[in-house]
Amino acid sequence: MQGILGRKIGMTAIFNEDGTQTPVTVISTAGNVVVDKRTEERNGYTALVLGFGDKRVKRVTKPELGFFAKQNLVEDRDGKQFVKRHLREFRVTPEQLDALDVGADVNASDVFFVGEKVDVVGTSKGRGFTGVMKRHNFRGTKASHGVHEYFRHGGSIGSNTSPARVFKNRGMPGQHGNKRVTVQNVRLAGFEEGGLVLIRGGVPGPNGGLVIIKKSVKRSI
């Protein structure tokens, strides 16, 4: 497995054996299940589809319910039926594909080890349409010396006749946040009971948000 899905619970800190403190983000990965397989014959590549989180069956469209019914993955709990809310594919080798069946639980502690470097993908907190000072850390304009109604503006966006255009990547106001963000090479600080994973430091997104923990792309272990 290359990764696992989870829900950000929040942040706290743990004490290490040498007395130092490590800030950690707690991520719940309980309930990761293999939902489907992508095979060489059918799809031209091999991958496992993981499902995570609950969704009430009465909120599910018929085609979606049909898919879960076919996989025999409609869960009956407290008189209510649930299917998986989030589905994500993870590329695996053909051997790994055969190792897990549809319906198999995937535990974080089987995928990762303590101290491993991982990448964590999340959706950053949305800030809406923001100005240039908040979005690009521009300095704005002086608060005095005759500045008139121009305190939080970005100033000039370029020259005149030459080059007669605005360069790419010019910082301007716009949507800030609510965007897929990956933090790379963060240490997995530990596991806790109930499928909880501790990641050193922060992770993008709000508490309760979906995150994907993956083996780091830039490995150097």
Partner 1 sequence: MHALSAIEEQYIRKDVPAFRAGDTVRVNVRIREGDKERIQAFEGVVLRRHAAGARSTFTVRKMSSGIGVERIFPLHSPMIESLEVVRHGRVRQARIYYLRDRFGKAARIKARRVN
19 binds partner 1 (CB under 8 A): yes
14 binds partner 1 (CB under 8 A): yes
Among positions 72, 164, 194, 220, the unique one binding partner 1 when judged by CB under 8 A = 194
196 binds partner 1 (CB under 8 A): yes
Give the nearer residue to partner 1 in terms of CB position, either 34 or 198: 198
26 binds partner 1 (CB under 8 A): yes
Region of 46-54, 90-98, 114-122, 189-197 interacting with partner 1 (CB under 8 A): 189-197
> How near is the Cβ of 193 to partner 1 at its closest, in Å?
8
> How near is the Cβ of 4 to partner 1 at its closest, in Å?
17
Among positions 12, 43, 175, 184, the unique one binding partner 1 when judged by CB under 8 A = 12
- Hey, what amino acid is at 112? F
Name residue, tokens 């990762």.
112
9 binds partner 1 (CB under 8 A): yes
206 binds partner 1 (CB under 8 A): no
Region of 14-22, 59-67, 79-87, 175-183 interacting with partner 1 (CB under 8 A): 14-22
CB contact at 8 A, 112 and 213: yes
Closest CA to 106 of 205, 8, 197, 207: 197
197 binds partner 1 (CB under 8 A): no
28 binds partner 1 (CB under 8 A): yes
The C-alpha atoms of residue 15 and residue 22 are separated, in whole angstroms, by: 6
Region of 4-12, 36-44, 61-69, 175-183 interacting with partner 1 (CB under 8 A): 4-12
Give the nearer residue to partner 1 in terms of CB position, either 133 or 196: 196
Q: Which residues bind partner 1 (CB under 8 A)?
A: 9-10, 12-15, 17, 19, 21, 26, 28, 192-194, 196, 198
